[in-house]
Amino acid sequence: MRKFQLGVALFILTPILEIYLFIEIGSEIGALSTIALIALTAIVGVALIRYQGLSTLQNVQRQMQQGQIPAVGLLEGIMLFFAGALLLTPGFFTDTLGFIILIPPIRKSLALWILERSGTIVKMDPGQPRQADSNHLIEGELQDKDDRK
């Protein structure tokens, strides 16, 4: 229930904070400059996401070719999509969050934290193959296709 309450609070408080920041920044630099700054952050954000998205995709492909599971890379890709949504949303608070997610060390740390918290990361020694559980035995018969006539 706490996550739901947090979600509702963010849903209500974020627009209020954005309106406050629009008024404050607009009164300092002017309305047209504020609008131009919002458009500029969206354009820069999209360019950064395109560049970092391609880089993340290449890392995921490299990990898959090496036989590794690219959980962190895939989650970073989702986070880049989320950062893009934040940057395209008009507002200074959402832009700030989007740009923070675009910083690679922060994004990677956040992805690792999410994976560890969700229990997705399983730490294994890469040099040791995983041993099959000896309690599971599958019995059956093997039949060659050529033998069926």
> 85 is in which domain, residue-wise?
11-122
Q: Is the pLDDT of residue 140 over 60?
A: yes
Task: Tell me if 4 is assigned to some domain.
Answer: no
Q: Count of domains in the chain?
A: 1
> Residue 123: is its pLDDT beyond 80?
no
Looking at the domain assignment, is residue 130 inside a domain?
Answer: no
Average model confidence (pLDDT) for the chain? 83
Residue 39 or 140, more confident: 39
Indicate whether 73 belongs to any domain: yes
Enumerate residues 6+ apart whose C-beta is below 8 A from 57. 77
Written as one string, the DSSP assignment of 97-128 is HHHHHHSHHHHHHHHHHHHHHHT------TTS
Kindly state the tokens that stand for 17. 């904070």
Find the mean pLDDT for residues 18-41: 94
Please give the average per-residue pLDDT across 83-109, as a whole number. Answer: 91
DSSP-based three-state secondary structure for 133: coil
